Amino acid sequence: MVLNNDIIEKLLEKYENGETSLKEEQQLKNYFSQETVAPHLEMYKPMFDYFLGNQQEQFTKDVPLKTKKVINYKWISAAAVAVLMLGFYLKSNTNNDLGTYQDPEIAYNEVTKSLEMISKTFNKGTSTVGYLEEYDKGASTLGYLNEVENATNIIFKTNQ
Amino acid sequence: MTQKEFLNIVMPFKDKVFRLAKRLLISTEEAEDATQEVLLKLWNNKEKMEGYKNVEAFSMTMTKNFCFDKLKSKQAQNLKIVHNNYEDANTSLQKQVEVNDSVNWVARIIEGLPEQQRVIIQLRDVEEYDLDEIADMLNMNNTAVRVNLSRARKAIREKLTNTHNYGIK
């Protein structure tokens, strides 16, 4: 570096007016990064030192980059809507067909037919209840056992 | 755009984003949060990013706006009173130790400048952007940038001269 003080002073003046080019500013930075500078320019040194030092500062934190989640939510909601629609569609299909009769006469006949069927099967059920009588009969024959006991009591009494 | 392509675009200037954020927000932690926020916003808009002619300049503008918003909301919350709570322990300790270090004086002097001038000093004297680029980033005209830059430089020099003279006398 063969920059004499005159040139530096001129550059500094331009610098303070914001008129230096990046190249000239680089020259200034180089000059002031030397160990020794002209004593009357010393106060500029920390400024340029600071600018150069600050350039070294780095961002070290990690940035969590995530996007797949957003897309997933979209697809999940779409799928949920599809499932709901399908459910409503199927449900409405089965609900429509109740097997309703339009003609009242046929409806009447069908009702009596099904009522008859109900009474027939109901009667079948009550008839099987009849078997319970047999149980009563059995229980009453057990009464004879008492008679036997009476008789034996009499016999033992006479023995005594 | 894959994550790798995105990182290839962002990596070269992520430190610049961080330094600008730190210049404005002062605290390292807040600057880190701001940088994360800016990079995430870029990532979320990565489809649009291919349309920008200068992603770096766009990111710097975004960072500046983000930090200005942050500072504004801070003023609204009256957090200014407890200014110390966003100056992390790390640097303040360092500052206490090196309080006489003149390089640190520069940092303090810049902290005392108006926000606009801080941004311009950062972009020009640290990041070495062209004046036109800076004008573009800050949505100002070239002359206004130059005037602000000149004011900031003069203010720094004046204060440094004062402290320098204190040291001698």
pLDDT at residue B165 is higher than 80: no
| Interface contact B130-A22, CB threshold 8 A | yes
* pLDDT for residue B95: 46
In a domain, A60, yes or no: no
Q: Please report the pLDDT score of residue B152 as a whole number.
A: 95
The predicted-structure confidence for A52-108, as pLDDT tens digits, reads as follows 988 888 888 887 776 555 567 788 888 999 999 999 888 877 655 667 778 888 889
Confidence class of residue A123 from pLDDT cuts 50, 70 and 90?
confident
Indicate whether B40 pLDDT > 80.
yes
A51 vs B17, B125, B145: nearest CB: B125
Same domain? A9 vs A43: yes
- Domain borders along chain B are 1-89, 98-169
Residues A36, A20 share a domain: yes
Most A-contacting residue of B24, B44, B109, B125 (CB-CB within 10 A), to test interface: B125
Residue A66 in any domain: the answer is no
Chain A closest-CA separation from residue B81 CA (Å): 28
Q: Which residue has the tokens 């979209």?
A: A74
Question: What was the ipTM of the complex prediction?
Answer: 0.79
Burial B53-86 (b: 16+ CB within 10 A, else e): eebbbbbbebbbebbeebbeeeeeeeeeeeeeee
- Token duo for residue A88: 């409503």
So what's the architecture of B98-169 in CATH?
Answer: Orthogonal Bundle (1.10)
Q: Which of A25, A27, A40, A43 to mutate to test the interface with B (most CBs of B within 10 A)?
A: A43
pLDDT computed for residue B163 by the predictor: 76
pLDDT of A130 = 76
* pLDDT at site B99: 44
A114 in a domain, yes or no?
yes
Q: In this structure, are A14 and A46 located in the same domain?
A: yes
pLDDT tens figures, A25-57:
999 999 998 888 888 888 888 899 899 988 888
Which among A18, A45, A51 has CB closest to B150? Answer: A18
Domain B1-89: give its CATH architecture: Orthogonal Bundle (1.10)
Distance CA B6, CA B45 (A): 11
Q: What is the pLDDT of residue B18?
A: 94
Q: Which amino acid, B30?
A: E
Which of B22, B44, B105 is facing A46, going by the closest CB pair? B105
* Cβ contacts of B92 within 8 Å, gap of 6 or more: B84
- How confident is residue B169, by pLDDT bands cut at 50, 70 and 90? very low
User: Tens digits of per-residue pLDDT, B140-161?
Assistant: 999 999 999 999 999 999 988 8
Partner-chain contact B35 A54, CB within 8 Å: no
Which amino acid is it at A116? E
Mean of pLDDT values over B39-66? 89
Instruction: Give A14→chain B minimum CA distance, Å.
Output: 9
Chain A contact for B161, CB < 8 A? yes
- The pLDDT of residue B7 is above 60: yes
Q: Do B157 and A59 touch (CB under 8 A)?
A: no
Using pLDDT thresholds of 50, 70 and 90, give the confidence band for residue A20.
very high
Is residue A9 in a domain?
yes
Counted domains in chain A:
3
Q: Could you tell me the residue range of the domain that residue A110 belongs to? A: 99-129
pLDDT confidence of residue B69: 92
**Facing residue for A49 by CB, picked from B3, B32, B103:** B103
Q: What is the CA radius of gyration of chain A?
A: 56
Q: At what angle do helices B142-168 and B131-138 cross, to 10 degrees?
A: 110
Alpha helices in B45-141 (DSSP H): 46-49, 55-76, 89-97, 102-111, 115-121, 131-138
| H/E segment holding residue A127 | helix A104-129
Say if residue A121 is in the same domain as residue A151: no
Together in a domain, A140 and A125: no
Say yes or no to pLDDT of B98 above 70. no
DSSP A64-86: ----HHHHHHHHHHHHHHHHHHH
- Asked if A57 and B18 come within 8 Å (Cβ–Cβ), the reply is yes
Cβ–Cβ below 8 Å for B106 and A50: yes
